[in-house]
Each structure stands twice: as C-alpha cells, then as structure tokens.
Chain A
C-alpha cells in the first residue's frame, strides 16, 4: 500500500514507494510491541490534528511523524526513519520525473 501523493505510485527503478501509515504502525510494533506502538501512533496522530487510521496522504504521514519525533528517545529514531524514507521517495521521484538527461546518479 502506498500513501496518496501528488505524483503517486512507486519509483520503478528503485521498487520504492512513499511510507504509509500501515508501514509506520508496523515499524512501531516491531520496536515497542503492538500495544505500546499503537498507543504512540494514536497520540502522535492526535497531536497532529488527525486520528489513527485516517492518515492517508504523505503530508499527513509527515505531520504525524513530526509529532512522534517530539516524544524523543527511541520514538524519535523511528520518526527519523520515516523522515529519511519520505525524503528518499521525494528526491528519487523528482529525479524520475525529470526530463531525459536531467537525472542525477547517486
């Protein structure tokens, strides 16, 4: 599942899509267990002005991740992972959308 974005979809060459709410919730569960992970996500969503289960755009995922980062500690490291994954998607999607010859290799 890929969150809705302005461009949408996956980047074929990298087989990579923007992080989704389901992926972030799964990440939190792997680190903190399902109960504590879900609680942390619900709190972050409330702080971001939405609710868990309704984070359907990349902009909302980013906002909730920022709220999660404010919790500090290990929660902030999970939030940083989301941030890096989102920035990777945005950067590579921009390159993929550039006219031929406008790409940048890493």
Chain B
C-alpha cells in the first residue's frame, strides 16, 4: 500500500489539525455559539462544527445533539460523514433529500438515525487546508438557498478566525 492521494489522508492536513489544537476539548467553548447561530439562522434542529480526521469525524462544537449517541461519542466513522465530501471538493455540499442521494441513502445516519437533509461548508485554514465543516442537519426534506449557504460560509470563516487566533 502506498500513501493515499485522498485529501482525507493527507499527513500535512492532519498535522495542521493537530497544530491548531483541534484535538483539544477547549476548542468547544469558542465555537459552540457559531454552531448555535448557524442552526438558528437556517431554522435547523442540529448544527455541527466538525473536524474531519482520516477515519473519523470529530465534533468540535455542536447545537441540538444533547441526548443523542453522537454527543456521547463526540463523532462517528468517516464513511458515514457528509462533511468528508467538502474536504475532497473544498466546496459546499448540500443534500436536500438523503433518501434519494446515491451515496447517502444507505448511510446508517439516514437509515437508522433519521437524517433527511444536510448543508455544509468547508472550514479552510489560512494555510489552505480543509479542517472540517460548519454544517446544519435536519430530519425533514429541505432545499437551501444560495443566500443561506453564503451565510454559512461567513460563519465558517469566523470559526476559522477563532480557531487560528489560538495559534498566535
């Protein structure tokens, strides 16, 4: 096996995640209000600030997951991750209806946990690495407007500024 060309497995990206202290629990307080604002502004029940690792998604901050197994675990396997797509494309990923999405209609988060729609935008560090996503998740089919995705992008940029301010 050779080194993977998948951005998920890029050692430099993972090093950036470590350098920015994103494995530390002290990142939650500076990001949780961003997650809450994202959920409120789009009228969604759940929002996450995710860190996409090589084989798992880590929840760095969240809104609306109290009492769910995702909150207990603090993440989930990367093969169930909607956010991993943005690490690969460096762009927003929107799924209005998971039940008809070719990749995610069989995702256990859809079939077992009821995820029905998703919109996420990448968190891109000033060094150009995609760290994870700011995303919203819902249990009903829903479309997302360009303006709503633009709002998410603004909040994602703010999240990155807060993360990087800790490095200085």
Contact = CB atoms under 8 A, between A and B. Distances in A.
Nearest to B16: A74
Contacts of A32: 3, 11
B61 interface: no
Interface stretch (B67-75, B93-101, B147-155): B67-75
Interface residues of B, number: 38
B76 A88 contact: yes
A5 B69 CA distance: 20
A100 interface: no
B3 A80 contact: no
Q: How large is the interface on A (under 10, 10 to 19, 20 to 34, 35 or more residues)?
A: 20 to 34
Contacts of B56: 80-82, 84-85, 88
Residue of B53, B108, B113 with highest tally of chain A CB at under 10 A: B53
Interface of B: 1-4, 6, 9-12, 14-15, 17-19, 23, 53-58, 67-70, 72-78, 108-109, 111-114
Given A29-B3, A31-B54, A88-B76, 8 more contacts: A30-B6, A30-B9, A31-B3, A76-B23, A84-B74, A84-B76, A84-B77, A104-B67
The 5 residue pairs across chains A and B that have the minimum distance between CB atoms: A106-B113, A84-B56, A81-B55, A74-B14, A84-B75
